[in-house]
Homo-oligomer: A and B are copies of this chain.
């Protein structure tokens, strides 16, 4: 490993998974969101959404606030500071690959 791309090997897999990347990107643009909103926005199944949210919570990237609105349970999800930092780190790593270097290789 001598090139300048070695950084990709340490890419945060928790965030890299498309479903979770979608969720983290979504949550990074709002203060918080509830389960139903994330379900509709993401297009994931309930089970799948639940598992991915759990994974983000385990990683410490997600704060889960469970309350009752009357008798109905209501859960709000929001990124933690750690989650925002991890997302920013992730974007920083991918940025040079996603951005155009503007000098296309001679074909």
Contact = CB atoms under 8 A, between A and B. Distances in A.
Interface of A: 1-3, 5-6, 8-9, 11, 13, 16, 18-19, 21-22, 25-26, 28-31, 40-43, 91, 94-95, 97-101, 105-107
A100 B39 CA distance: 24
Contacts of A2: 40-41
A54 to B, nearest CB: 20
A43 B105 contact: no
A26 B41 contact: no
Contacts of A25: 5, 8, 97
Contact of A22 (B5, B13, B28, B31): B5
A97 B15 CA distance: 12
A107 to B, nearest CB: 8
